[in-house]
Amino acid sequence: MSVNLLTNLIENDSILINQRAQTWQEAIEVSCKPLVEKKLISPNYIDSIINSTIEHGPYYILGPFLAMPHAEAGKDVFKDCFSLVVFDKPFYFDQDSRPVQILITLGATSADIHTAVALPQIVAAFENSENIDKIIKATSKEEIIAVLEKVDFSKYLNS
């Protein structure tokens, strides 16, 4: 596996909790900020996600309270990366009634990373609704790391 979700989040210090956003656009900006600061993605990547969402809708909502915003693989991405950002309260995308409170933003250098590596790990981590609840209620990064350390990521990965 070329990109490990948990290792990537820890190495890039890209777990944020109790964040605030008035709009979904602001939430996208907040979720990308640690990746831009580490020079893993370009600031242009934020605009790409927002423009793609306006054009195609929030197709990356994966389930209750969870979305994986991303844009075209390779463009404005310097290194494969994730951020995991928990907001203090749910927010909504335009024309969509599903609440979102966790954003796992993905920057992928190739489409293969997106489909074969990133998505399977996110499914493994969040298929259990208890994990979503624990992450939303977490009061520290360490609590989120502890939840993710218990996940068997290998079951969905073809390694």
Instruction: Tell me, yes or no, if 70 is annotated catalytic.
Output: yes
Which helix or strand (DSSP H or E) is residue 48 part of? helix 43-56
CB-count burial class (<10 Å; 0-12, 13-18, 19+) for 55: exposed
Of the candidates 9, 34, 27, the one whose C-alpha atom is nearest the C-alpha of residue 146 is 9
Of the candidates 96, 89, 108, the one whose C-alpha atom is nearest the C-alpha of residue 26 is 89
Q: Which of 21, 30, 53, 70 is catalytic?
A: 70
- The C-alpha atoms of residue 142 and residue 93 are separated, in whole angstroms, by 29
Q: Which residues pair with 86 in a beta bridge?
A: 102
Q: What is the DSSP letter of 107?
A: E
Catalytic residues: 70
